[in-house]
Every structure is written in structure tokens, then in C-alpha cells.
């Protein structure tokens, strides 16, 4: 466990500042406003921003978010800091949703996860924080580490996918990366200048029916086995804040859930940072029906452990009076305010409240190093799903390439969801990427073919389709750029249909009639259930929404300048009826088989593409798994190794994955559970021995009493290229001699 970042000196300074605050100013420190929401008050004629500025000058605001740039940040800080004594001089904490980049937009998190490269994600998080810091942002509302296994849920785009271990590895890297500081941010060093905010604590990704903001009902077991590990890892990595989720957890919405915010987060894990609510979540306690009015919502949230009220204004409106009426002890308020002040001291805001000049200021062009990073992240995020007859990689001297589809020339959609500070002008489209990569002799033509979500069969579309067929008809190979707009995933973007939207399928079927090689490039924020596509496309590339370097990353893969290494971190279903479908499902007493087993009358129970899956332009061979000690005493670890060889003709990267199953435990266990992975780069013909040590972390389960326990008995371990492949060995933990 990390040493406490609230040092005695920070605590002393915070307590001195706290002692000088009025009750109203204390409630103000616990209040955060959305600067981007600016209605006019009909009674006063004042805008929300006018009201916020007045309150800042009186020391009644602790934080604002959704500002627009350094100038505005400095202006508001000046109101807070030097306000001739009316206030208290405590600087504002300026927040922003920096989810996958700032001005340099990187691939959406679900794409970056597919790289199985947490260090790379840490680097993109650091780059994003440096750019945001140059605009005065000291609090990024990231990483989003909700385990999600429902592609209907639009926010799966923001997640790391379905696996707790992988999400934990990314959580740690993202927290450390995003908490940059003058010590170049290991996040836990002496001076981070940006605070991360792992979210949404907890369980938001299991919203029923994949419908955003919907009820979450999960056992303490699923909460602790699946949902909490990434958050615990984030806390251990030194996350300075946490955001509570909108949803209820076992009947109590997170911002009013003392079990989550105090018992687990603070008492069990020792978290010392600041807990913020999600947007207006205190107000929503009334809608949820757990608070009769704002006063009760205020009391429930404070008692549960919510320090900062995002956007509702309930704390500033009610806390001072409730304390004076004796309904809540001022000590509870003081504890929350002390954490907020300690955070601001830790971030150096008192010494440096204003934006300092930075090489990462992005009012002009993007930093070259960030563009290069964006291209590498785009390349590694791409997953090759299908490559019939090795139609990929394409030859750069292909004489004629048609780039067809509604996303081929899009500059906005590749930015993906949560890219407020991204600019379409900075984006390289698929068409542009192909044009720049192909040889100068190649003719690269383009036609849109249809709208992403247009209604098929409309008059306009007939002519558009006809143009596309004419263009495609003249080409040697066709690249189809298909998928979803940036607005079809992200918050409040759930879908019940996992097919290609609009008339895109019709476009595919029509183009396929031409009998030419087809490469389908899918730009989506979620898995789609489109098994039919591989009947028409010779190759399928899952290209997500890859950010500013989308077109170059895709072209690098299509032309073989980069051998795709991405592996899926979320199961792709055959159809939406299978959802939720994920690899670590339980065996049940009747595993899928014939009648009277857990199967469907009208569908296979297998996914379209399994967790961990991805193809390469080369081939890898796994040797026999070796284990020096297949029988080990309780408390000992198992040492395993396997030789992996690149048996193809070109360099490639393989994600070696190791899974385990406890064959007979006191509590049912998943069919498989990822317990480790290693991404290795091998030249043609090269081999490497990859070793794994399986200790208690991998072998332990939560027993019937929810205790972490390693139980004697047999385990099966697989090492392979995905959750659906790989040789296995049987290991035994021996019971202690009686």
C-alpha cells in the first residue's frame, strides 16, 4: 500500500486554511459547477456563469469544469485567489473529461485496451494531461474503468472491456500516466499537478439491458470479484480522487452508498483522496426515490462519504443550515473539506494557481511527439478479425483502390465519443490515410455509398449507391469504411440493435456483387454482431474510433507497414440475443449441449469472436507448457513456461495469455479466468520462452464467506493466443498433511 500522500505538512496547512473558512465557504469547497451549462435565471436575469463568478469571489465555489481554455481558467482563478479578502484565497480545482486525449485525441479506451499495452495507454494519458494542464485543467475525469460486457451499453466505448485483470492493469497505468507533474508524473511522486479520477465507482457497466443509467443489481460476490479489482488497483496506484456512479448498488445509489464510499473505499482500502459525485447525482437521489427532498439527499450523500457535489448545488444550498440545525456534525463537513484542501495543496495549486506557459499548449498545432504517439496507439488498437486468402496486407502498387463507405472521408467520427477538445481538422481520415500510403502510381477513388444511419431505399441513396458501384467497379480492390458515428456510442448512447446502422449492409451486399476483393474496416465504439459480413468481405479490420491518426494507423495496417497485434478485450456476440456474453462465464450444471442443457433453440452459444482474439500477418506456434512443479504445497507458487515461435515470414507481436480454472472449489468458478498476459515481438523464425508464476493472486478465490482463499485441489491452466485456444496443463495444490 502506498505511503500516505497527505503528509503531516499538508495536513497542517490544510487544517490552518480550514480554520479560516466560514460554514458557507466550507460547503463551497464541496461544490463543483459545470461552466458549460449557462442558463439565464428568469428571476434575476443573471446567467449561471454570472452567479458562479459572484460565488467564486465570495469563496463559495471549490471547483468548476468544462471551461474553455487557459485564459478563462486564469480569469476564474483570479476571482478565487485574490479577491481582496471577501473570499479566502483558496484556488479552484478545474476539471475536465479528458477521457482519451485532449486536443490530441487518441483511440477510445476500448480501442487502446485492444493493444494489451497498458504502458502505451499510460503514455497517452500523460500526453493528454500535459495538454489539459496547459489549459488550466488540474483534474481529469479519467480513467473510466467500469468492467463492461454489454455492447448495447454505449459507454462500453469508454471502458477497457470485460476483464477485471486487464482493466486493473490499465487502471494502474492510466492513473500513473495521467497524474503528471513536475516530476514527470509517476503519479505518486512528490508533485503531481493533475489528479486522476477513476470512474464510475461502482458497477455502472452492468446496467440492466445495456440501457444507460439503468438499475444495477449485483451480488457482493460479483461486486468484489469483477467490479472492484480495477478500482482497488487504481487506489493502490495512488489515484487522488474517485467518481461515484449514478447507479444504485444493491438498492442504494453510489453517492449515498456508505458501504461503497466509506466501508470499502476508505476503511478497507485506505483511500485518502476526494470522492466526487457524478453529474447532478445528489439531485437524482430524489428521482431514485431514496431521498424525499434535497435536504435528505444532502444528508445521505455527506454521511455516505461524497466530498464533492458535481453540478447539483445541493451542498451549498443546504449544508450550512443543516449543520446549524444540528442535523449533521460540522466535523463531517470538515473531514471532506480537509481532503479537498489537501488535494489542492498536493497539486501545488496554492503556489501555482495560474496556467504557466507550456510547450504543450495546443492553441496552434499538435505537439509532434503526441501525433507520433497517436499513430502508434492507433496501429496497436486495430484488431484483424478475418483475412481470407491473405488478401491483407495490400500491395502499395495496387493500381486502383476504391475507398467506399459513409465513414471513409469522415473527419469527426474517428474522434469518437468524449473528444470535446478534439478538432476534425486534426484528423486523418481513412481515405486520406490510404491515399498517402499507396504508391503515387495508384489510383485511389472514393464514394460515400450511403449514410451511416440513412434510411435505405430513399431516392437519394439509390443514386449514391449507383455512384459507389460505378467507382468500385473500376478498382482492383475495395476498402469499405463502415460502422457507427461518434454519436452512436458514449454516454446516453445505448442501442438495442448491434447491426451496422442504416443502409450499410445493403451497400456491402451490392458491392460484393462486383466480385472484387473487399476489405471491410469497421469504425465503431462497440462490438457489432455482424456474422454475415465475413460472407461478403475477404478481410475484416476492427478499427474502432482511433482519434486524430485514424487514417494513418488504418493504412499502416492495410498496407502492412504495421502487422496488426490487437486482441479483443470484449466478446463479440453472434447476435444481440446472446447478450450479456463474456468469456469468464460459469460452467453451470448443464453446460451448453443438446436438449435440456443451457442452450438456445435458434442460436449457437458461441460468440462471433472470443475475448483475446485477433489475427496477424504472421503465424505463431506455442510449444508444450512446462511446469517444474505441477504439484505444489498450499502457499507455494507454480512456475510455468512456454516457448512461442514466429513461424511466419515477417515480424509480429503476439499477446500470450494465461487463463486458469479451479476445477472443484467451494464456490462455483468461471470456466476460465485471465491471470496474466505478455505482449512479445518476434522476428520471422524467432522464438522466446515466456514464463509465468502463478501465486495466490492467481489461485485464490472468494470462498463462501467472502474470504480470499487458496483451496487445495486441481487447477487447469491454459496458455494461448485467446480465451478460446491454447494447450493446457493440470496443476494440483496439495492439501496440508492432516
The binding site for ligand GLC (CB under 6 A) comprises 97, 141, 199, 278-279, 491
**What is the Cα–Cα distance from 659 to 665, expressed in whole angstroms?**
16
Phi, psi of 82 (to 5 degrees): -115, 90
Please say which residue, 10 or 275, places its beta carbon nearer to ligand GLC: 275
**What is the Cα–Cα distance from 247 to 207, expressed in whole angstroms?**
8
Three-state SS letters, 7-33: CHHHHHHHHHHHHCCCHHHHHHHCEEE
Please state at what angle helix 368-381 crosses helix 118-133, rounded to 10 degrees: 150
> Which residues are within 8 A (CB) of 440 and not within 5 positions of it... i.e. 6 or more apart?
none
Per the CB < 8 A criterion, the answer to whether 158 and 116 are in contact is: no
Distances (CA, A) of 185 to 102, 127, 180: 17, 11, 4
Per the CB < 8 A criterion, the answer to whether 441 and 399 are in contact is: yes
The reply to whether 84 belongs to the active site is no
Nearest distance in Å: CB 239, ligand GLC: 14
**What is the Cα–Cα distance from 286 to 283, expressed in whole angstroms?**
6
Per the CB < 8 A criterion, the answer to whether 107 and 547 are in contact is: yes
Per the CB < 8 A criterion, the answer to whether 328 and 319 are in contact is: yes
> Which residues are within 8 A (CB) of 641 and not within 5 positions of it... i.e. 6 or more apart?
625, 626, 627, 689, 690, 691, 692
**What is the Cα–Cα distance from 545 to 76, expressed in whole angstroms?**
34
Burial pattern 311-331, b for ≥16 Cβ within 10 A else e, equals bbbbbbebbbebbeeeebebe
Torsion of CA 665, 667, 670, 676, to 10 degrees: -60
Does residue 438 come out as left (phi exceeding 0), alpha (psi in the -120 to 50 range) or beta? beta
User: Which among 323, 332, 320, 307 is positioned nearest to 63, based on CA atoms?
Assistant: 307
Three-state DSSP at 689 gives strand
Write down the catalytic residue from 97, 163, 278, 413: 278
User: Which among 324, 318, 413 is positioned nearest to 31, based on CA atoms?
Assistant: 318
**What is the Cα–Cα distance from 477 to 282, expressed in whole angstroms?**
55
DSSP state of 192: B
Phi, psi of 183 (to 5 degrees): -90, 25
**What is the Cα–Cα distance from 488 to 714, expressed in whole angstroms?**
45
Give 104's strand partners.
none
In the Cβ-directed half-sphere of 399, how many Cα atoms lie within 13 Å? 2
**What is the Cα–Cα distance from 504 to 456, expressed in whole angstroms?**
8
**What is the Cα–Cα distance from 119 to 170, expressed in whole angstroms?**
8
Q: In this structure, how many other beta carbons lie within 10 angstroms of the beta carbon of residue 678?
A: 16
Cell of residue 471, nine digits: 467507382
**What is the Cα–Cα distance from 163 to 144, expressed in whole angstroms?**
14
Q: In this structure, how many other beta carbons lie within 10 angstroms of the beta carbon of residue 643?
A: 14
> Which residues are within 8 A (CB) of 412 and not within 5 positions of it... i.e. 6 or more apart?
424, 427, 485, 486
Cβ burial of 176 (10 Å; 0-12, 13-18, 19+) is buried
Please say which residue, 279 or 638, places its beta carbon nearer to ligand GLC: 279
The catalytic site residues sit at 278
Amino acid at each position: 500500500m502506498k505511503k500516505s500522500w497527505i503528509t503531516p505538512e499538508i495536513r497542517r496547512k490544510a487544517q490552518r486554511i480550514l480554520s479560516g473558512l466560514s460554514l458557507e465557504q466550507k460547503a463551497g469547497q464541496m461544490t463543483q459547477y459545470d461552466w458549460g451549462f449557462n442558463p439565464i435565471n428568469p428571476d434575476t436575469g443573471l446567467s449561471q456563469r454570472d452567479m458562479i463568478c459572484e460565488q467564486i469571489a465570495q469563496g463559495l465555489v471549490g471547483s468548476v469544469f468544462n471551461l474553455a481554455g487557459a485564459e478563462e481558467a486564469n480569469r476564474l482563478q483570479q476571482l478565487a485567489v485574490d479577491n481582496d479578502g471577501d473570499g479566502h484565497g483558496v484556488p479552484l480545482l478545474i476539471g475536465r473529461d479528458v477521457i482519451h486525449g485532449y486536443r490530441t485525441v487518441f483511440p477510445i479506451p476500448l480501442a487502446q485496451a485492444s493493444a494489451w499495452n497498458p504502458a502505451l495507454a499510460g503514455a497517452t494519458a500523460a500526453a493528454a494531461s500535459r495538454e489539459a494542464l496547459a489549459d488550466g485543467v488540474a483534474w481529469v475525469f479519467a480513467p473510466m474503468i467500469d468492467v463492461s460486457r454489454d455492447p448495447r451499453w454505449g459507454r462500453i466505448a469508454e471502458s477497457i472491456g470485460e476483464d477485471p485483470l486487464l482493466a486493473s492493469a490499465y487502471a494502474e497505468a492510466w492513473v500513473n500516466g495521467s497524474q503528471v507533474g513536475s516530476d514527470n508524473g509517476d503519479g505518486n511522486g512528490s508533485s503531481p499537478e493533475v489528479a486522476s479520477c477513476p470512474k464510475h465507482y461502482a458497477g455502472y457497466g452492468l446496467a440492466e439491458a445495456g440501457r444507460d443509467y439503468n438499475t444495477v443489481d449485483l451480488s457482493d460476490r460479483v461486486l468484489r470479484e469483477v467490479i472492484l479489482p480495477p478500482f482497488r488497483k487504481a487506489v493502490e496506484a495512488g489515484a487522488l480522487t474517485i467518481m461515484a456512479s449514478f447507479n444504485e448498488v444493491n438498492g442504494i445509489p453510489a453517492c449515498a452508498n456508505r458501504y461503497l464510499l466509506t466501508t470499502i473505499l476508505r476503511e478497507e482500502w485506505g483511500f485518502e483522496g476526494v470522492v466526487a459525485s457524478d453529474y447532478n447525482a445528489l439531485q437524482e437521489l430524489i428521482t431514485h426515490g431514496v431521498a424525499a427532498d434535497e435536504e435528505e439527499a444532502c444528508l445521505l450523500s455527506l454521511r455516505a462519504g461524497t466530498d464533492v457535489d458535481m453540478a447539483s448545488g445541493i451542498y451549498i444550498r443546504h449544508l450550512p443550515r443543516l449543520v446549524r440545525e444540528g442535523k449533521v456534525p460540522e466535523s463531517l463537513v470538515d473531514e471532506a473539506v480537509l481532503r479537498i484542501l489537501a488535494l489542492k495543496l498536493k497539486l501545488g495549486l496554492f503556489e501555482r494557481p495560474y496556467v504557466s506557459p507550456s510547450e504543450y499548449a495546443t492553441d496552434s498545432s499538435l505537439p509532434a511527439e503526441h501525433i507520433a504517439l497517436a499513430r502508434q496507439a492507433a496501429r496497436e488498437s486495430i484488431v484483424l478479425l478475418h483475412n481470407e486468402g491473405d488478401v491483407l496486407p495490400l500491395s502499395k502498387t495496387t493500381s486502383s483502390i476504391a475507398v467506399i463507405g459513409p465513414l471513409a472521408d469522415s473527419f469527426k467520427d474517428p474522434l469518437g465519443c468524449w473528444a470535446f477538445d478534439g478538432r476534425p481538422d486534426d484528423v486523418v481520415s481513412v481515405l486520406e490515410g490510404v491515399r498517402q500510403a499507396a504508391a503515387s502510381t495508384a489510383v485511389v477513388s472514393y464514394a460515400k455509398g450511403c449514410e451511416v444511419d440513412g434510411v435505405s431505399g430513399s431516392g437519394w441513396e439509390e443514386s449514391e449507391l449507383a455512384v459507389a458501384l460505378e467507382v468500385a467497379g473500376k478498382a482492383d480492390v475495395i476498402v469499405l469504411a463502415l460502422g457507427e458515428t461518434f454519436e452512436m456510442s458514449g454516454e446516453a448512447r445505448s442501442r438495442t440493435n448491434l447491426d451496422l446502422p442504416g443502409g450499410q449492409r445493403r451497400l456491402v451486399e451490392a458491392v460484393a456483387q462486383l466480385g472484387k476483393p473487399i476489405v471491410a474496416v469497421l469504425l465503431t465504439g462497440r462490438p457489432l454482431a455482424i456474422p454475415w459480413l465475413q460472407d461478403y468481405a475477404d478481410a475484416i479490420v476492427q478499427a474502432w474510433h482511433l482519434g486524430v491518426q485514424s487514417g494513418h494507423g488504418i493504412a499502416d495496417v492495410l498496407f502492412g507497414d504495421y502487422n496488426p497485434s490487437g486482441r479483443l478485450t470484449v466478446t463479440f456476440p453472434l447476435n444481440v440475443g446472446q447478450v450479456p456474453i463474456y468469456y469468464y462465464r460459469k460452467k453451470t450444471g448443464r453446460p451448453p449441449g443438446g436438449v435440456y442443457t443451457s442452450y438456445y433453440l435458434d442460436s449457437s452459444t458461441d460468440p462471433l469472436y472470443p475475448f483475446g482474439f485477433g489475427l496477424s500477418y504472421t503465424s505463431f506456434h506455442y510449444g508444450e507448457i512446462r511446469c517444474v512443479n505441477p504439484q505444489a504445497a498450499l502457499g507455494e507458487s507454480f512456475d510455468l513456461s512456454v516457448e512461442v515461435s514466429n513461424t511466419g515470414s515477417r515480424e509480429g507481436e503476439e499477446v500470450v495469455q494465461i487463463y486458469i480454472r479451479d476445477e472443484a472449489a467451494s464456490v462455483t468458478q468461471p470456466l476460465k479466468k485471465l491471470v496474466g498476459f505478455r505482449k512479445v515481438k518476434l522476428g520471422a523464425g524467432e522464438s522466446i520462452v515466456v514464463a509465468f508464476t502463478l501465486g495466490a493472486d492467481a489461485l485464490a478465490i472468494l470462498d463462501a464467506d467472502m474470504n480470499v482463499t487458496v483451496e487445495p485441489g486441481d487447477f487447469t491452466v491454459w496458455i494461448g493466443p485467446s480465451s478460446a485456444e491454447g494447450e493446457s496443463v493440470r496443476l494440483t495444490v496439495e492439501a496440508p498433511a492432516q
